[in-house]
């Protein structure tokens, strides 16, 4: 089966700002780095008034990008094939300056940066991250999934590119942050990896979401010309209990059939009844994936789910036309963790008794209600129905 993945670019590029990290530029009076070098820490435009005709080769001693000018005020020069001459990672040295700059370098400037932000749409989370094999100069790609989906809804890249060679990390539920590996010599991030599990003790190179949050995007600072990533910050979102967000539905499901058509006296049938909140017994693939996702955040059946489901069923379903059950008037025991009891039902001779129970469904949750429909069908095909609000009353029939 062919799966179509739609790539959407959701990147914000604010105005270019000056690089905050200075570049350390080492200059030499002779080609191939010969002669006594001088080192300059450059951030804004630096004018070398004393060396205009003494520079033949240069190196980046620290930082990843510097623009070189023959003018004395960092104005654009028509040198270097019509563009500003520059050193940009991975090219960090020039053994022989171009003829336009050879013995004619007068000023230099650190390269500017832009900020790129990519964020998953609401209701989706980062499960997979791809990291470009070129020291991240082609960017980082995030893939955004709904909790119950095996296919990403959206694919986003920090640099607006399609990665061709990359390493990938798939988290079981959702990523919880990003770990970075810095190149301290040139001060940039050539490698990163997804944090798939929350940890109470993390190192200084880990950017982790809060325990109740999951990763939905990242903000990166990208340097022009070199395209390296200077910094990464995670964007996190609180993981809401699906019991508050799901759409409830209900219906009657069979509990027991007591067949006494051939009997001459009443018969008693034993059966089990469950009441309360639990996980649905027949999970779909989507529900199973959702359960795994939310389980990482401690969300499952229990008191917190019960309280949320009670409010959801009351507000969104209320009095059900399907079952004639009023969810806004449900008992407190409906919203506790599921419990089961063994009870009995009496069926008169010549009758089939079918017992059905109101079951509510919402996401992967199931709510078994102490509310039943008893249907007695006689041999002549006629039947009577009785709605019963407690299994305790059923044996009185």
Ranges in the chain annotated CATH 2.60.20.10: 23-111
What's the pLDDT at 145? 97
Question: Cα–Cα distance between 328 and 82 in angstroms, integer?
Answer: 75
Query: Which CATH architecture group holds 23-111?
Result: Sandwich (2.60)
Residue pair 229/188 in contact (Cβ under 8 Å)? The answer is: yes
Give me the DSSP letters along 296-363. TTT-SSSHHHHHHHHHHHHHHTSB-TTT--BGGG--GGGGSB-EEEEEEEEE-TTEEEEEEEEEEEET
What's the pLDDT at 79? 52
All residue ranges of the chain with pLDDT < 50 are 1-19, 81-82, 396-397
Please give the class, per CATH, of domain 114-238. mainly beta
State pTM to two decimals. 0.82
What's the pLDDT at 352? 95
Q: What is the largest CA-CA distance in the chain?
A: 119
What's the pLDDT at 391? 60
Ranges in the chain annotated CATH 2.60.120: 244-396
What's the pLDDT at 22? 84
Q: Six-digit token pair at 309?
A: 């489901």
Q: How many CB atoms lie within 10 A of CB 199?
A: 12
What's the pLDDT at 121? 96
CA–centroid distance for 162 within its chain: 20
Tell me which fold the domain 244-396 belongs to: Jelly Rolls (2.60.120)
What's the pLDDT at 392? 57
Ranges in the chain annotated CATH 2.100.10: 114-238
Question: Cα–Cα distance between 18 and 65 in angstroms, integer?
Answer: 12
**Unique residue bearing structure tokens 């990003």:** 178
Residue 115 burial by Cβ neighbours in a 10 Å radius (0-12, 13-18, 19+): middle
> Torsion angle of alpha carbons 168, 199, 205, 166, nearest 10°?
0
């Amino acid at each position: 089966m062919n799966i179509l993945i739609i790539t959407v670019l959701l990147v914000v590029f604010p105005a270019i700002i000056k690089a905050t990290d200075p570049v350390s530029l080492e200059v030499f009076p002779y080609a191939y780095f010969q002669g006594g070098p001088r080192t300059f820490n450059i951030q804004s435009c630096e004018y070398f008034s004393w060396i205009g005709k003494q520079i033949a080769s240069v190196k980046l001693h620290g930082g990843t990008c510097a623009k070189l000018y023959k003018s004395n005020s960092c104005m654009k020069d028509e040198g270097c094939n019509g563009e500003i001459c520059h050193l940009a990672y991975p090219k960090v040295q020039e053994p022989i300056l171009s003829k336009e700059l050879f013995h004619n370098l007068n000023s230099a400037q650190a390269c500017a940066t832009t900020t790129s932000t990519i964020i998953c749409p609401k209701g989706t989370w980062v499960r997979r991250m791809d990291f470009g094999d070129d020291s991240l100069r082609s960017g980082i790609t995030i893939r955004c999934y709904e909790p119950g989906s095996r296919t990403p809804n959206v694919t986003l890249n920090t640099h607006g590119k399609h990665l061709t060679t990359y390493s990938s990390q798939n988290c079981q539920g959702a990523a919880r942050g990003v770990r970075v590996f810095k190149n301290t010599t040139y001060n940039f991030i050539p490698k990163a990896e997804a944090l798939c599990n929350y940890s109470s003790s993390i190192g200084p190179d880990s950017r982790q979401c809060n325990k109740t949050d999951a990763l939905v995007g990242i903000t990166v600072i990208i340097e022009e010309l070199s395209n390296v990533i200077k910094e990464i910050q995670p964007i996190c979102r609180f993981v809401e209990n699906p019991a508050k967000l799901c759409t409830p539905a209900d219906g009657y499901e069979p509990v027991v059939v007591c067949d006494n058509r051939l009997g001459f006296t009443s018969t008693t049938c034993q059966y089990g009844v469950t009441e309360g909140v639990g996980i649905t017994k027949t999970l779909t693939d989507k529900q199973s994936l959702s359960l795994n996702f939310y389980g990482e955040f401690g969300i499952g059946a229990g008191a917190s789910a019960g309280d949320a489901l009670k409010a959801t069923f009351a507000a969104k379903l209320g009095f059900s036309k399907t079952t004639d059950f009023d969810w806004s008037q449900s008992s407190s025991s409906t919203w506790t963790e599921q419990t089961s009891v063994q009870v009995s039902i009496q069926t008169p001779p010549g009758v089939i008794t079918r017992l059905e129970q109101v079951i509510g469904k919402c996401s992967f949750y199931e709510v078994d209600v102490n509310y039943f429909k008893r249907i007695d069908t006689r041999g002549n095909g006629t039947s009577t129905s009785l709605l019963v609000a407690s299994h305790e009353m059923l044996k009185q029939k």
